[in-house]
Amino acid sequence: MSSSISRIAALAAGMFLGMAGGAMAQSTPLSAQESDPNVMGWMQGFPPPADKLITQPDSVYFSFPRLRWSVCHLREFLPTEEISRGLGAPVPLSYLPPHAFADARQDIDALTFMPINGDKEMTWEESLYANYTDGMLILHKGRVVYERYFGCLEEDGKHAIMSMTKSITGLLGEILVAEGVLDDSLLVRDVIPEIGESAFANATVRQVMDMTTGVQYSEDYSDPNADIWLYSRAASPLPKSEGYDGPDGYWEYLQQVKPEGAHGDAFHYKTINSDMLGWIISRVTGKAVTELASERLWRPMGAEQDAYQTVDGKGVPFAGGGVTAGLRDLGRLGLVMLNGGEINGERLFPAEVVEKIRASGDPAKFAGFPTIPNGSYTSQWWVFHNANGAYAARGVHGQTIYVDPAAEMVLVRLASFPRAQNGFIDPTSLPAYQAVADYLMAK
């Protein structure tokens, strides 16, 4: 497989936390308004003009500004498996009365805050455009107080959530641990004997869940020989090139991972941990992560849309970044977390699951993320250890489910920021979230 096709597969799969993104973006990218896919005319017309086509694999469909359209159309490029919401009617979200909703939007849009290390205040609305927001949903005390759509995303649309997928995988794993289905003290080889001599073999399930494994995996996108490209070639659902003799699929790749450092010493954000956890979950339940997410989350929480998840050439779901979902359903997932496993009067899983995620993770093992200085990472969730007890699911290009227990707030943002690292947008995002939390607590 050519290097360019490999990059397409990797980017589309969502395996790009740590990528600067600038290598595939303009040095001075178009603004959010200028790069709006409706303004640029991507894929408009029947058929679209040749210069407005976004195709696979001839164009790099996840490069900016094309990605601003592609994030809402991933299943048009890659095979997927459904996360079914079932056949029952969705359970509607509760909204503020229309006049109060309009007032809240006006108030929130006008909120001001100081960006991290900034010298000039910014309004909430300005931050939405600065961060190339495609969808924003805010719930307070169980009711929607703010909802907006931009760019490719409409009310009935769906959006790639990138590495927020990891948090779904981690949540499923933590549920299984709480219910006694999965023993997180076991070694990986005790659960997956065919892992063989892989570096994962003598890591514990908990070390996989918290990404404190000592495994060799480079996501240096400037290095054509980095592990990320080997992983993308293995996982790509596209036909392998003639003469290819490497691993075929996510799980075959995991069987040949080499050691690097000691298990348990430190947090290292490496996507292969999420796929290892997906394999473990599938083994102990006999179900794909897509089926389990449907059964334990999407159906019982009253989701209004099916979600879907990209798969490799063998049909294995990408547990580290392959989910696309609707904005409101991600809000429902945030409510489940805020309410300790409950929604709509129904308990989906034990309260200890969320309690453990909120309280766990070792900040002493967490380094290299200057915008989250006191943070930790546990069960594939980011924990801020701030005064409000906030924690989040996060994905590149600006995806987040931000849960603030003190403010009784769930905030969901879907975005298509030109550069992949969230470190580029945290300075104008995290203080903005705090400003909304402060406003809601004052109300």
Q: What domains are there in the chain, each with its CATH number?
A: 94-164+317-442 (3.40.710.10)
pLDDT below 50 — which residues of the chain? 1-26, 58
Assess contact for 19 and 420: CB atoms under 8 A: yes
In this prediction, residue 57 carries a pLDDT of 63
Cα–Cα distance between 245 and 257 in angstroms, integer?
Answer: 16
pTM metric for this prediction:
0.94
- Determine which one of 163, 236, 274, 416 is catalytic: 163
User: If phi over 0 gives left and psi between -120 and 50 gives alpha, with beta otherwise, what is residue 212?
Assistant: alpha
Cα–Cα distance between 109 and 440 in angstroms, integer?
Answer: 13
In this prediction, residue 354 carries a pLDDT of 98
At residue 295, what is the residue type? E
Residue 307 half-sphere exposure toward CB, CA atoms < 13 A:
33
Q: What is the pLDDT of residues 334-379, one digit of tens each?
A: 999 999 999 999 999 999 999 999 998 889 999 888 899 999 999 9
CB count within 10 Å of CB 245 equals 6
In this prediction, residue 27 carries a pLDDT of 58
Nearest to 24 by CA among 274, 318, 396: 396
In this prediction, residue 221 carries a pLDDT of 65
In this prediction, residue 254 carries a pLDDT of 98
379 is catalytic: no
